[in-house]
């Protein structure tokens, strides 16, 4: 048992953060760390030390939601041992279930909605003082000073950081819960984004990932007239950030103008995550994706014309209601045609609010499992082959720090977003280096240093 060395009032208060789900949630968790650090909390990796546990949740698939429920169940024991412990559940499951979570999990103190992040300190202060249990699910982010110092994500000396440019989604793909838990699309003013990036540059960040559910529609609804292309140009002109990436793009909104940016904007990395979801036009229609597989492939061809070495990744699902064997074969054909560098693949699951819940001809779990295994085996071969194609090439990487898996090696990513581990006598963290790729595996490459760039 941990005996506090100091009187309880002097003992530092510890915050433990656990994040599930997408980069949006990661970004929000970093904001919470920043806000609570300003309140005197210290971050800990040791959950048993925590005075506050902040759980940021994802409900995009049934499996993701189940993970949250089992994690929450395991916290019961900690609360019993330390009744002063405060447990906050935030993010998309919090938004989806709301107050009901408090009755389901009696050891839970706060349910915080997706637009309640900036209020975390006030909410925590209230439950600490009054001992009440509450749910706070505002319709709008009630931040008085968006982008104020306390509201910016905690940056623990990373070389690459994320910046949210828009939140929510208006697309209503029929399988998706996101528009219901994240709300309608809202863009952040471009000046605020530029300011945040300049702040990151001042802290040593060299690469940013611009985040949004559909960044291509950035700017809609803002008072200023600004498109996503304008935003990319403004970041080029008004910041010294060295590398820019963005995610996610919806194929229907990926314009020729944005595709051309990959040829004309020097600091935009040659990589794109462009979810296709299915290769069958019939299924795409039922998903409300508003493009055909031929249109998707047409965009990929244009991208490769503009930027021949572009790294391409995508999302796909199997077993959408009504998906036949022929539809599934169309998906494999699209994958074969495009040859993605990497692919995130999922089994379809019914989600609350999603229209597809009502669709007939549900696919059995057995068939979904078989299709997913076949698809993943095919992609594993493509990924490994594409990684092997890198052998012998010299690539510029941004060095991010010590490699997690290889002893004593450093790690960085190429513009195409491939991980390269390499030996180095000096610590090159934060600098650009040139490496020759000498070996390739399924998730990373091995390289040797050619020469450091100034």
Binding site for ligand F3S (CB under 6 A): 21-22, 24-25, 58-60, 91-92, 178, 181-182
> Per CB under 6 A, which region of 116-124, 156-164, 170-178, 400-408 contacts ligand SF4?
170-178
179 interface partner picked from ligand SF4, ligand F3S, ligand SAH, none, CB below 5 to 8 A per type: ligand SF4
363 interface partner picked from ligand SAH, ligand F3S, ligand SF4, none, CB below 5 to 8 A per type: none
Query: Closest CB to ligand F3S among 166 and 428?
Result: 166
Task: Enumerate residues 6+ apart whose C-beta is below 8 A from 416.
Answer: 269, 270, 271, 309, 310, 311, 341, 395
58 interface partner picked from ligand SAH, ligand SF4, ligand F3S, none, CB below 5 to 8 A per type: ligand F3S
In the set 36, 101, 173, 399, which binds ligand SF4 (CB under 6 A)? 173
Rounded Cα gap, residues 187 and 47, in angstroms: 35
Rounded Cα gap, residues 440 and 284, in angstroms: 34
Task: Enumerate residues 6+ apart whose C-beta is below 8 A from 369.
Answer: 347
Query: Closest CB to ligand SAH among 88 and 173?
Result: 173
Q: Rg of the chain's alpha carbons, rounded to an integer? A: 23
Rounded Cα gap, residues 29 and 225, in angstroms: 30
Query: Closest CB to ligand SAH among 232 and 363?
Result: 363
In the region spanning residues 236 to 255, those forming contacts with ligand SF4, defined by CB under 6 A, are 250
Chain position carrying tokens 């009440």: 132
59 interface partner picked from ligand SAH, ligand SF4, ligand F3S, none, CB below 5 to 8 A per type: ligand F3S
Q: Cβ-closest residue to ligand SAH?
A: 315
In the set 162, 167, 190, 213, which binds ligand SF4 (CB under 6 A)? 213
Query: Closest CB to ligand SAH among 342 and 411?
Result: 342
Chain position carrying tokens 């299924």: 283
Residue 133 CB, shortest distance to ligand SAH, in Å, is 30
Query: Closest CB to ligand SF4 among 179 and 311?
Result: 179
Residue 413 CB, shortest distance to ligand SAH, in Å, is 21
Rounded Cα gap, residues 239 and 284, in angstroms: 39
Terminal Cα-to-Cα distance of the chain (whole angstroms):
51
Query: Closest CB to ligand SAH among 154 and 180?
Result: 180
- Residue 356 in 3-state DSSP? helix
Task: Enumerate residues 6+ apart whose C-beta is below 8 A from 373.
Answer: none
Q: What number of other Cβ atoms are within 10 A of residue 288's Cβ?
A: 14
Rounded Cα gap, residues 46 and 112, in angstroms: 23
Residue 319 CB, shortest distance to ligand F3S, in Å, is 19
Pick from 45, 41, 72, 40: nearest CA to 56: 72
């Amino acid at each position: 048992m941990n005996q506090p060395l100091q009187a309880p009032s002097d003992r530092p208060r510890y915050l433990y953060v656990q994040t599930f789900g997408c980069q949006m949630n990661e970004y929000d968790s970093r904001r919470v760390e920043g806000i609570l650090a300003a309140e005197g909390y210290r971050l800990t990796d040791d959950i048993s030390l925590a005075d506050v546990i902040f759980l940021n949740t994802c409900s995009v698939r049934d499996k993701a939601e189940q993970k949250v429920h089992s994690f929450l169940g395991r916290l019961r024991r900690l609360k019993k041992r330390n009744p002063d412990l405060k447990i906050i559940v935030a993010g998309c499951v919090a938004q989806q279930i709301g107050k009901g979570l408090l009755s389901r999990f009696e050891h839970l103190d706060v349910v915080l909605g997706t637009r309640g992040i900036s209020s975390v300190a006030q909410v925590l202060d209230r439950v600490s003082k009054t001992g009440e249990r509450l749910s706070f699910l505002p319709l709008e982010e009630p931040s008085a000073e968006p982008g104020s110092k306390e509201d910016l994500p905690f940056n623990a000396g990373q070389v690459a950081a994320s910046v949210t440019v828009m939140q929510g989604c208006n697309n209503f793909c029929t399988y998706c819960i996101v528009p219901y838990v994240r709300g309608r699309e809202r863009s952040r003013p471009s000046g605020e984004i530029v300011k945040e990036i300049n702040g990151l540059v001042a802290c040593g960040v060299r690469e940013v990932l611009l985040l949004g559910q559909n960044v291509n529609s950035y700017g809609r609804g803002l008072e200023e007239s600004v498109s996503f292309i304008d935003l990319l140009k403004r970041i080029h002109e008004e910041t010294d950030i060295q590398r820019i990436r963005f995610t996610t793009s919806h194929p229907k909104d990926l314009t020729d103008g944005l595709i051309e940016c990959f040829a004309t904007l020097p600091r935009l990395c040659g990589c794109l995550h462009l979810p296709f979801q299915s290769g069958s036009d019939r299924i795409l229609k039922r998903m409300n994706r508003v493009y055909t597989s031929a249109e998707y492939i047409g965009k990929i061809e244009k991208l490769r014309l503009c930027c021949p070495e572009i790294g391409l990744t995508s999302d796909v699902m199997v077993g959408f209601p009504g998906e036949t064997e022929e539809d599934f074969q169309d998906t494999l054909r699209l994958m074969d045609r495009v040859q993605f560098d990497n692919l995130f693949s999922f089994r379809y699951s019914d989600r609350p609010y999603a229209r597809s819940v009502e669709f007939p001809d549900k696919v059995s779990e057995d068939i979904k499992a078989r299709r997913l295994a076949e698809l993943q085996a095919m992609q594993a071969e493509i990924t490994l082959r594409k990684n092997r194609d890198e052998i012998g090439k010299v690539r510029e990487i941004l060095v991010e720090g010590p490699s997690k898996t290889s002893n004593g090696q450093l790690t960085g990513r190429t513009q195409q977003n491939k991980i390269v581990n390499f030996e180095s006598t000096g610590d090159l963290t934060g600098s650009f280096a040139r490496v020759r790729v000498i070996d390739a595996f399924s998730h990373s490459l091995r390289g040797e240093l050619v020469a450091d760039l100034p």
